[in-house]
Structure 1
């Protein structure tokens, strides 16, 4: 009984410590993304994941164009060793989602196809 209470206490302390670390990490990542005007989902690589590529293909062109502009601006700022002006950094929303819902839908469709034994929606082949 006492050992279970001790384990529970350590679990609670460990969970609180992990929550604290997660908050610090999220804050740090958000600040870095704001400096370049990026959103977290802009970091998803469409050449690495076919699901991300398919989700981007299904999004409206305006959303994809805005993503591409943010990435180009961030690359330009990085090459110039510069950041966005402070007033623009203040209005950035690095954790506002635009891709996650579509990505979850694409992954669910892929898993359903695999479960049914259907042909994959997209296949990667080496040239």
Structure 2
């Protein structure tokens, strides 16, 4: 399940990237997930088969940290409180940890699909 992205278009144009970078930072802060101690990849829905495979491939410490962040965020949500500011996720710590694994899985599936649909033509 892929979706169209404007990222390649934006990244090729420095003036557009410079214009949109502060806006993207503002949006990430306004989304509120960092105030709950979450990272952007924590918001990926787990009901997809590719995501489940990626979660299984996570190193043990990353998987533990993810579950801890999710449980802490749920507790904050239940109590209707945010974490103290020193526990918020910093922008430099909000790096993708699940997305690279997802990209590898999708590339492998795409390669497998292309090899499975390969037709062999015998020469005379």
TM-score relative to the length of structure 1: 0.68
State whether residues 34 and 93 of structure 1, in contact with CA within 8 Å, keep that contact through their aligned partners in structure 2. no
Which residue is 1:106 aligned to? 105
Q: How is 1:7-22 mapped onto 2 (pairs within 5 angstroms)?
A: 20-21=19-20
CA contact (8 A) 2:39 2:89 kept: no
Q: Residues 37 and 92 of structure 1 are in contact (CA less than 8 Å); yes or no, is this contact kept in structure 2?
A: no
In the other structure, the counterpart of 1:5 is none
Per the alignment, residue 83 of structure 1 pairs with 82
Spell out structure 1 runs of 4+ moving beyond 3 A: 15-23, 90-94
* CA RMSD between the two structures: 2.5
Unpaired segments ≥5 residues, structure 1: 1-14, 119-127
1:51 corresponds in structure 2 to 50
- Separation in structure 2 between the aligned mates of residue 64 and residue 111 of structure 1, nearest angstrom: 26
Q: Any gaps of 5 or more consecutive residues in structure 2?
A: 1-13, 118-124
Flag the 1:20–1:91 CA change in 2: closer, same or farther, 3 A. closer
Q: Matched residue pairs, number?
A: 103
Q: Which structure has the greater CA radius of gyration?
A: 1
CA contact (8 A) 1:34 1:94 kept: no
